[in-house]
Amino acid sequence: MRMLLHGWGILLAGCLVVTSLAAAKKPNVLFLIADDLNCDLHAYGHPHVHSPHIDALAARGVSFERAYCQFPLCSPSRSSFLTGRRPDVTRIITNSRRSPEGAYTNHPHFRDYIPDTVTLPQLFRQHGYQVARIGKLYHYGVPGQIGTDGLDDPASWDHVVNSYGRDKVEEDRVFSLVPGSYGGTLSWLAADGADEEQTDGMVATEAIRLLEEYQQGPFFLAVGFYRPHTPYVAPHKYFDLYPRDEIRLPALSPDDKRRVPAAAYQSAKRPQEDMTNELRREAIQAYWASITFMDAQVGRVVHALERLGLAENTIIVMTSDHGYHMYEHGLWQKMSLFENSCRVPLIIAEPDTNQAGATSTALAELVDLYPTLADLCGLPAPDYLDGVSLRPVLEDPSVDVKPAAFTQVRRGNKMGYSVRTPRWRYTHWDRGNDGVQLFDMRADPGETTNLADNPKHADTVEKLREILGAYLPANAS
């Protein structure tokens, strides 16, 4: 009997060891997201912007050259990729509403329309992961809601951290085109003090603390940086990297100057229209400075991951919620359907990948992040997800997993929809009633020549209109 019990003990101990090893092998996820970051990064070929730490991530993973958001505005985009559903399903097509008194409200929220959905971080919670959010993942009004929960989803997280730093405390020092208004218009500040005193510096510090706490894993740590969103705040040293007299402004096409079709340019705002070229260069300098400051905080977090020996079992994602204009097409910020507004940086670095440093021209959408991470971590993704796993591209960057990517934006009570294929971008406004655009992205990556009315491209227009028509919901405008 004693030998039998001893044998059972050995068997049980062995099972516990196997179970423990299996648990230890579950990959961690470090999900890094910037706010309002376009592809003005050295890793994406920008000749001036310093982004050494994001570049280092690109060198250890796969960079997607053609990744696109589904709606170029914070809450619609974040609600989409964190639920894995497109904006016409989440029905989130605006940011937080405000009360008549001017206070932010907690609506519209995707749970108002799809209450039983399982979000990306919630899926990891359900499967034994420690899941935490630091900073901005779901929508925040920036800078108004920094330090609060914003438009959060409590079911998504075990733990949340809402940091706020000198940039929030010293808002009255920020220059703005509209005095006293910071988040919705161009505004900036070359700040005093150290990186760690700014909100993004505190976000990085808290992320490092949680990495130290979660060393046993598995964890899903979502780190949401607030920069380079307006106000563009960064310590002086980052501004010094970009002398204004060396900044060249984008050239405008004849359509850009005439603003046709009008719907394509309705994201333009009056104060921004009246800027001098010198003020435009100041804004670009400040945006680039904020990128480099945010990049430095990414570096702090990734360095801690490596120092703790966690990098060998952690999948790292680096992306943004949407693209951003810096006077391309004469526009600023987001909410257009041009490439600068729709396109996002996306880097996925797996441990022990044999594709480190590869770039892929495969089309990808932010809605693909949910099924991709579920696939890489062996979790059962819901069958209603609208994206596809990018795992085949991570294994072979030359393959494609989808023929097109889609982005939409609202103009009043009408919607503009855009489809991006490997060669073309086709956009129509109110099903074409308010204008149509076709750009050959291979020959004309700056989208300077609208070919929609060119008879030579009538077949291309019809084909892309059919692709977009099949994508649209029946009641879409």
Which pLDDT tens digit goes with each residue over 187-235? 999 999 999 999 999 999 999 999 999 999 999 999 999 999 999 999 9
Residues 395 and 417 in one domain: no
CATH number at residue 121: 3.40.720.10
pLDDT at 101: 60
Residue at which a domain ends, from 399, 427, 455: 399
Contacts of 436 (CB under 8 A, 6+ apart): 261, 426, 427, 428, 429, 452, 453, 461
CATH number at residue 466: 3.30.1120
Q: Report yes or no on 223 lying in a domain.
A: yes
Residues 438 and 354 in one domain: no
Q: Report yes or no on 406 lying in a domain.
A: no
- Asked whether 142 and 154 are in contact (CB, 8 A), the reply is no
Q: How many CA atoms lie within 13 A of 452 on its CB side?
A: 19
Query: How many structural domains are present in the chain?
Result: 2
Q: Report yes or no on 12 lying in a domain.
A: no
Residues 253 and 352 in one domain: yes
pLDDT at 100: 58
Residues 469 and 352 in one domain: no
pLDDT at 99: 58
145-154, 276-285, 362-371: range with lowest mean pLDDT: 145-154
249-253, 270-274, 395-399: range with lowest mean pLDDT: 270-274
Q: Report yes or no on 75 lying in a domain.
A: yes
Residues 322 and 438 in one domain: no
Which pLDDT tens digit goes with each residue over 438-455? 999 999 999 999 999 999
Contacts of 153 (CB under 8 A, 6+ apart): 82, 109, 110, 111, 119, 122, 138
- Residue 368's closest CA among 28, 62, 3, 159? 62
Residues 386 and 419 in one domain: no
Q: Report yes or no on 50 lying in a domain.
A: yes
- Residue 30's closest CA among 299, 211, 216? 211
Give the domain extent around 139: 26-399
Residues 389 and 467 in one domain: no
Q: pTM of the prediction?
A: 0.93
Residues 344 and 420 in one domain: no
Residue 340: pLDDT above 90? yes
Residues 390 and 298 in one domain: yes
Residues 458 and 357 in one domain: no
Residues 119 and 251 in one domain: yes
